[in-house]
Amino acid sequence: MLLITAILFPMIAGPLAALFPARRDSGRTFRCGAVMVLTDIIAILAALYGKAVTLFRITDRAVFGFSYDSFGRLFLSVVLILYTAVCFYAFEYMKTEERPGMFFSFYFVSMGALVAISMSANLLTLYFCFELASLSSVPLVLHEMTREAVSAGLKYLFYSVAGALMGLLSVFFVYYYSGGNTGFIPGGIIDNTLLSGNESVFLAVVFIGIIGFGTKAGMYPMHGWLPTAHPIAPAPASALLSGIIAKAGVFAIVRLIYYSVGVDLLRGTWVQYAWMSLCLLTILMGSTCAFREKVLKKRLAYSTVSQISYILLGLSIMSAEGFRGGLLHLLSHAVSKGCLFLVAGIFICKLGKRNVTELKGTGKEMPVTLWCFMIASLSLVGIPPMGGFSSKWMLAGAALGDGMGILSILPPVVLLISALLTAGYLFPIAVDAFFPGKDFDLSGTEKKEPSLFMTVPLIVLCLAALMAGVYGWRIVELI
């Protein structure tokens, strides 16, 4: 029952705590904070001691159930770190927004859905939980209920549904050719005897599944929702969308390719080459668009398009080193980009500034906030000893050792170009904030540092990015 409790507790207790009438904001803050802490405790206990559970069977092979393995625990740890940090940040941020109770309700429902994704025992369960995560996160984008917010929310919904249906097609085919076992097994569950003679169709369907689940991860050509939804959503929602909700697509692809189909079936086929090519194209496109963008949150959104494809690139190499590099980048990017979006939210709600050109001199007003922005940027660019450096080093090494000719050389080159572009669209913000130039008038500037509810989560995420660089490789080695 621990696994089921870990899913249902935030989905039930969260909305009750958020929507129950309170005379003061402090009442809701205390209740939601208590729910957040209890959710963390229950989820950790479930990951450590929870036993596999089967809820029901649709057919003999279509089973809906939950269990944990090391990969699921890694994803759960990222969910808990980011959701906890963003929750306490949102207590302060949502004071400037309408309907905070509604926001926190869907916040906890989406968290329960992601916890369910992390413990899904098979592809069918994963698909249903994947859809639930999409549906429960749409209201986070719609929150402001302006015309732009409704348009962005609907675009996110349409992309998510279309991508999930493409993924569902691959689920059908995997189940059909899996023989008797439909759970997750490293190396895959496909019965080669059943598949014999149908390899071409199966490869095409698997590629469609990669594109479908890759929609959530912002992979080209299904990336369009991400730069639209992020700037419109409240900053806490943007941090979640970029930091962890988009990575539900990465999680689904790992389960599909590494635990269901099996990389031995795909390595050296056109599916691998096409997937790698799309990842490289997405990395370059996202970095270039981010470099040219002037609105900070939209710049970070395009950056997410690029950075998540780093993870997918590592997975597409289909080697142990590439897998480890991808997982490490999943961890380091989640905390780094979450921090950057939270900083962008502080600029919006405390200073009313959205464009990068407006941020000159803010380093004197908010030194702690800008230092957190700089540290997270160092990780995203890939400067040692931050997590981004370790993951990119692994990814480049994996590509060079894969023996695929030009596709062994292109990834390190593209990673280097993208790192330079990333430095170009992040570092000048911090430099201008601390050193605005002689012509900039700093007289009368006072410190406007936000409350501890906002600054402590930033510091925690920066420390997590540093720990990902120092100890992250040891974590992924266990997987």
Angle at 392 between CA 120 and CA 420, to 5 degrees: 130
Question: 234 near 143, Cβ under 8 Å?
Answer: yes
Residues 206-242 have pLDDT tens digits of 999 999 999 998 898 888 888 888 888 888 999 998 8
Q: What is the pTM of this model?
A: 0.94
Question: What's residue 446's pLDDT?
Answer: 65
Question: What's residue 445's pLDDT?
Answer: 62
> In sequence order, what are the beta bridge partners of 122?
183
Taking every pair of Cα atoms in the chain, the longest distance, rounded to a whole number of angstroms, is: 77
Round to whole Å and give the CA distance between 373 and 66: 38
Question: What's residue 76's pLDDT?
Answer: 94
Name which of 165, 222, 177 is nearest 201 in CA terms.
177
Question: What's residue 24's pLDDT?
Answer: 62
Residues of the chain with pLDDT under 50: none
Residues 446-468 have pLDDT tens digits of 677 788 889 999 999 999 999 88
The 3-state secondary structure of 213-246 reads HHHHCCCCCCCCHHHHHHHHCCHHHHHHHHHHHC
**Distances from the Cα of 31 to the Cα of 9, 21, 96, 111, 465, angstroms:** 13, 11, 19, 16, 29
Question: What's residue 443's pLDDT?
Answer: 57
Round to whole Å and give the CA distance between 83 and 385: 25
Round to whole Å and give the CA distance between 468 and 448: 30
Residues 27-53 have pLDDT tens digits of 778 889 999 999 999 999 999 998 888
Question: What's residue 469's pLDDT?
Answer: 85
Question: 66 near 4, Cβ under 8 Å?
Answer: yes
Those residues with Cβ within 8 angstroms of residue 236's Cβ, 6 or more apart along the chain or in another chain: 86, 89, 90, 93, 94, 103, 107, 342, 345
Which stretch of DSSP H or E encloses residue 54?
strand 53-57
Question: What's residue 313's pLDDT?
Answer: 94
